[in-house]
Structure 1
């Protein structure tokens, strides 16, 4: 069985002191996440197929999910994590500034309410925001926390 693969970009910015940093996370869109906060934020990422490199997919997905061009700059590899679903996620960190107010989210469609026959469109991410590491750790989906920890270790080292 072939597991799905996903790739993304974790943006970070320094906020004053050398070790003070914030990361950009997106709140997952759609009715299933609308009332949740903890565990409902994610690194902008998405699936890709065999004809695309993970890094190209990460840049494409960032653009699709935020409506903004992926930032230029060094792509610091944060490695891979296999989620409980079996999906393999690869993430790069990029130091960049981004104004969350400029985001124009990509959309997806799903039947809502369930079994209603009505298909509606929802944003992939309904908002993005900058968070200091303690808040990011509390908000991120559990399977993506290792990427935050790896980024912090990289910046400290």
Structure 2
């Protein structure tokens, strides 16, 4: 049996007027142009062969946002997405202007079977959302990461 694909990413959060907000990215390209609910994601990507998951999470966050993450980091429990991919994630407190995010790009054939290649950004836009809104927009399996983050932050405030 083939090993499931592994992915890693970071959840940037900020506290705004007592509310936790998380930074999510909307996937670029023509497939997701008119989609919203359920397609947003934490900045993440696949691990290279033999790569440490935390190192991959930091690399992917920088590639997809143009930002360098600074700890301390909160390790979250890995989740498994619908297609079988396992996502490792860490959260950290930070802030940015989401309109300034610069994502890396990759080529795809568009339109399909046309032989024509176009470059699309991995993330075409990013936004901070409060947790209830983020849970409506994020890939359904990744919502568990947001729930765990909320629990851990609540625990830190009580400690």
TM over 0.5: yes
Does residue 48 of structure 2 align to residue 55 of structure 1?
no
Deviations 1:10-44 (A, max 9, x none): 00001122xx1100000111100000110121000
SS at match of 2:87: strand
Q: Is 2:118 the partner of 1:120?
A: yes
- Structure 1 residue ranges, 4+ long, deviating more than 3 angstroms after superposition: none
CA distance in 1, matches of 2:66, 2:14: 20
Corresponding residue of 2:10: 9
What TM-score do the two structures reach when normalised by structure 1?
0.94
SS state at 1:41 partner: coil
Secondary structure of 1:144's counterpart equals helix
Map 1:3-152; keep pairs closer than 5 Å.
Answer: 3-17=4-18, 20-69=19-68, 71-152=69-150
Unaligned runs of 5+ in 2: none
What secondary structure sits across from 1:42 in the alignment? Answer: coil
Q: 3-state SS of the aligned residue for 2:142?
A: helix
TM superposition shift of 1:125:
0.3
User: Per-residue displacement from partner, 1:25-79 (whole Å, max 9, x unpaired)?
Assistant: 001111000001101210000001342111000000001111222x212110111
> Helix, strand or coil for the counterpart of 1:6?
strand
Q: Matched residues in 1 for 2:39 and 2:3: separation?
A: 26
Which deviates the most, 43-52 or 6-15? Answer: 43-52
In the superposition, the TM-score normalised over structure 2's length comes to: 0.93
| Number of residue pairs matched by the alignment | 154
- Whole-Å separation in 1 of the counterparts to 2:59 and 2:107: 19
SS in 2 for 1:131: strand
Quote the offset at 1:134 in angstroms: 1.0
